[in-house]
Amino acid sequence: MTNDHEANPLRDSRDRRLNRIAGPSALVFFGVTGDLAKKKLLPAVYDLMNRGLLPPSFGLVGFGRREWSDDDFRAYVRESVQAHARTPFNEEVWSQFAQGMRFVVGAFDDDAAYDQLKATLAELDERGAQHNHAFYLSIPPKAFEQVLSKLAEHNLASRNEDAHLGWRRVVIEKPFGHNLESARELNSIVEKVFPSDAVFRIDHYLGKETVQNILAMRFSNQMFEPLWNANYVDHVQITMAEDIGIGSRAGYYDGVGAARDVIQNHLLQLLALTAMEEPLSLDSKHLREEKAKVLEAVRIKNLQESFALGQYAAGYQGGEHVNGFFDEKDIPADSRTETFAALKLFIDNRRWDGVPFYLRAGKRLGRRVTEIAVVFKKSSDRLFGRDEGDTAHQNAIVIRVQPDEGMTIRFAAKVPGTQMEIRDVNMDFGYGHSFTEESPEAYERLILDVLLGEPPLFPRHEEVELSWKILDPFEEYWEENTIKPEPYESGSWGPRSAHEMLERDDRAWRRP
Ligand code: BG6
């Protein structure tokens, strides 16, 4: 299936401002009782309905082992929506939404349940879904193969004979494997059942407004691009700090760690968007091509000195005492899983020649913040020499991804008074101040794009592979050398070794 948008890269850009409304369709959730579905996915679907972006006949199917009736499922969705939706609860919208809800009871290997799913979808098609079905797999990776092969066996997937009646799409939540090899295996399993243009891999960071704004900021302005290169940029810091710990997610997190959990996907995508060349158009093919070129050009120099790993120890956050990683439920005493990782990478092309990209991600850090800081070379001291102990005036452009969405430009200015004293000041753009519309949640945008069949915000398999190629050498080194992460106090900014990594380069992490 080709997408009209892909076929016409020069289409009128005014199209992009029209409200995009999903056509007749049904969405089936596997893993509907999980945390992600409850807190993010179901509320996002409701928000779309509430914003008038889904058709009235929209079908929502839950598939799971709980012995639920359709009404039990409705009650569960209602609770999740009331607790977590972004838009206000509206009884009228809810009642229409609830009419299209069904629950199918069964385990992932239960043939009778897939027959039941087929009958349920047929009924929803009559009701108005018109044979357009998306399957959302928010399930552990080990269950992917089973669910996909059952969908195929039961003629529910797109390679099946009646698929021409409508579209079939599959949505896959990360992690896409745990290294290059397993990602390739997973992909071959998925693509046996769904053709590549029907596969939507979720990296929810790409659904965030502020992440999409990176492209707008870079390529719709004249003033940044001339500076965006090794002639002016000293280095780039990408930070994803969380104040939460791993909570009850030991089952998923232990053995995965910060690098696989968020650097392989979210942070490398941020790096790609920050460093890529201007794409030919905003269509998926061109966007993905440029991102892939950057990821392909990433290099590690001197691996042993290009990382830091940490594990949070007990401490205080917001005045409250919090557990250390080893006090969390189900974490074995000898776990080497990192809850903090920092990497230093280079991009081997002319634009970024010699510019380090420092990435860090961690749990239980000082506060929740994700930002990209492009730090410029030091200004000349010729006219405004510094006193000893002064920090150099280094301009920076900081893209604040969350939570205080916006952008800061840092530059030097004269302090009022009789002396020529120079100090750094900030100029701020905040979404909340400049726009009246509230930003939609990432999942609203992404689920809508799946239903519309628009792929630009979904990483292609090649990008996933390239990202593993960047991470695998680190993971292998840590494994072969049984590297033990260094403890850091909860509420701090990570282990000592992360600071040392930058000090060696005569630089320092920003304090967000
Ligand atoms: C997920 C990770 O992808 O992103 C989680 O698996 C992390 O560990 C979450 O907490 C953070 O997302 P956000 O949107 O709150 O930054």
pLDDT one-digit tens code per residue, 145-193: 999 999 999 999 975 555 568 999 999 998 899 999 999 999 999 999 9
pLDDT level of residue 385 (50, 70, 90 thresholds): confident
CA–CA dist 103, 121 (Å, integer): 11
Least confident among 158-162, 268-272, 342-346, 371-375: 158-162
CA–CA dist 239, 31 (Å, integer): 30
Tokens of 74: 């409705």
Contact 104, 73 (CB under 8 A): no
pLDDT at 303 over 90: yes
Of 112, 179, 185, 180, nearest in space to 144 by CA: 185
What order do you get walking across the sheet with 133-137 strand by strand?
Answer: 101-105, 59-64, 26-30, 133-137, 168-173, 199-202
Kindly report the average pLDDT of the chain as a whole number. 92
Q: What is the DSSP string of 5-50?
A: HHH-TT--GGGGGSPP---S-EEEEESTTSHHIIIIIHHHHHHHHH
CB 261 less than 6 A from any atom of ligand 1: yes
CA–CA dist 399, 237 (Å, integer): 11
Question: Treating both helix axes as pointing N-terminal to C-terminal, what angle do 70-84 and 91-99 enclose, rounded to 10 degrees?
Answer: 140
Portion of the chain with pLDDT greater than 70, in percent? 94
Contact 485, 339 (CB under 8 A): yes
Residue for token pair 């790096």: 271
State how far the alpha carbon of 294 is from the alpha carbons of 98, 144, 152, 262, 396, in Å.
45, 30, 36, 18, 22
pLDDT at 318 over 50: yes
Q: Which of 178, 204, 235, 266 is catalytic?
A: 266
Tokens of 410: 């840092």
Question: Treating both helix axes as pointing N-terminal to C-terminal, what angle do 284-296 and 461-480 enclose, rounded to 10 degrees?
Answer: 20
How far is the centre of ligand 1, averaged over its atoms, from the C-alpha of 274 (Å)?
20
Closest residue CA from atom 10 of ligand 1: 242
Tokens of 131: 């044979």
266 has catalytic annotation: yes
CA–CA dist 406, 428 (Å, integer): 7
Condensed to tens digits (0 to 9), the pLDDT of residues 211-246 reads 999 999 999 999 999 999 999 999 999 999 999 999
Burial of 297: CB neighbours in 10 Å, binned 0-12, 13-18, 19+: middle
Of 271, 273, 260, 262, nearest in space to 344 by CA: 271
Residues in the chain: 512
Closest residue CA from atom 6 of ligand 1: 261
Of 36, 34, 97, 44, nearest in space to 66 by CA: 34
Condensed to tens digits (0 to 9), the pLDDT of residues 445-486 reads 999 999 999 999 999 999 999 999 999 999 999 999 999 999
> What is the β-pairing status of strands 59-64 and 26-30?
parallel
How far is the centre of ligand 1, averaged over its atoms, from the C-alpha of 363 (Å)?
10
Closest residue CA from atom 3 of ligand 1: 262
**Secondary structure of 314-380 as H, E, C letters:** CEEECCEEECCHHHCCCCCCCCCCCCEEEEEEEECCCCCCCCCEEEEEECCECCCEEEEEEEEEECC
Q: What is the pLDDT of residue 159?
A: 55
pLDDT at 388 over 60: no
Of 248, 221, 308, nearest in space to 503 by CA: 308
Q: What is the pLDDT of residue 290?
A: 97
Which H helix or E strand runs over 473? helix 461-480
CA–CA dist 175, 204 (Å, integer): 12
Find the largest Cα–Cα distance for the chain. 84
pLDDT at 380 over 90: no
CA–CA dist 365, 243 (Å, integer): 5
State how far the alpha carbon of 168 is from the alpha carbons of 124, 129, 159, 172, 461, in Å.
14, 12, 9, 13, 18
Q: What is the pLDDT of residue 480?
A: 98
Q: What is the pLDDT of residue 11?
A: 44
Q: What is the pLDDT of residue 163?
A: 54
CB 371 less than 6 A from any atom of ligand 1: no
CB 405 less than 6 A from any atom of ligand 1: no
pLDDT level of residue 5 (50, 70, 90 thresholds): very low
Least confident among 37-41, 346-350, 382-386: 382-386
Q: What angle do CA 103, 106, 107 make, to 5 degrees?
A: 135
Condensed to tens digits (0 to 9), the pLDDT of residues 108-146 reads 999 999 999 999 999 999 999 999 999 999 998 889 999
Q: What is the pLDDT of residue 288?
A: 94
Q: Given the CA of residue 240, which atom of ligand 1 is nearest to it?
A: 16
